Amino acid sequence: MPLSDLLALLALATAMAFTPGPNTTLSAALAANRGLKAALPFCLAVPVGWVMLVLACSAGVGTLLQAAPALRTGLTLAGVAYLLWMAWRLSQTAALSEVQAERLKVGFAQGVALQFVNIKAWMAALLVVQGWVTPGPVAERLAVVLPLMAAYAFASNFSYALLGAALRPWLQHGQRLVWFNRCMALVLALTAVWMLLR
């Protein structure tokens, strides 16, 4: 891959990975409420799901998504419903003592599945495939793109989880966790609305 292409991919990966979105919001919220160890499966799931999306788009599934508006609408609605459901569950937790595994749990499988109902992730994967994978030898380009994008996906989610875990002692006092969770729930809900309006 030419250096100019690689630098452009790094810039895109940085912008995509580290700006707040449903994945980073959930990473921070899970770690803040349940600890870093509980958030780690989700942090690992995001890059796995992302790699699967890029592979699917490389195989032509992304083109099908673009060509079938009903499929795209279905994915969008599923993603919106999931984000709103997670926002509601998050908003119901008011104290660390109330955080139960069944109330606020997003494990590895759910983290991977979330990528497949995230229309933003599909569009980003399609952009990466069209811009950096298919212009050259696909196998060689994927050998560069997949590890790089997976590393960025993990680094961003783990960074947000570290931030959430660092806030845990501070969140134990007064109504801080209530407001933190409501803010995180609002970010998820706004992301859902954004997905609907795209």
Virtual torsion, Cα 108, 60, 17, 195, nearest 10 deg: -90
Query: For the range 51-56, what are the long-range contacts, defined as Cβ-Cβ under 8 Å and sequence gap of 24 or more?
Result: 51/146, 51/149, 51/150, 52/112, 52/115, 52/116, 53/115, 53/116, 53/121, 53/122, 53/125, 54/125, 54/128, 54/129, 54/133, 54/142, 54/145, 54/146, 54/149, 55/142, 55/146, 56/125
pLDDT value of residue 177: 72
The one-digit pLDDT tens for each residue of the chain (198 residues) are 778 788 888 887 887 777 777 888 888 888 888 889 989 999 999 999 999 999 998 888 767 766 778 877 887 787 778 778 777 877 776 555 444 445 567 789 988 988 888 777 887 888 788 878 887 788 888 988 899 999 999 999 999 899 889 888 887 776 777 777 788 778 778 877 876 776
**Can you tell me whether residue 103 is helix, strand or coil?**
coil
In the block, tokens 């569950």 appear at: 89
pLDDT value of residue 88: 80
Packing angle, helices 69-91 and 119-128, rounded to 10: 130
pLDDT value of residue 51: 93
**Can you tell me whether residue 59 is helix, strand or coil?**
coil
Closest CA to 124 of 26, 39, 21, 44: 21
Helix runs in the chain, H state only: 3-18, 22-34, 36-58, 61-67, 69-91, 108-116, 119-128, 138-171, 176-197
pLDDT value of residue 52: 93
| Half-sphere exposure at residue 105, Cβ-oriented, CA atoms within 13 angstroms | 8
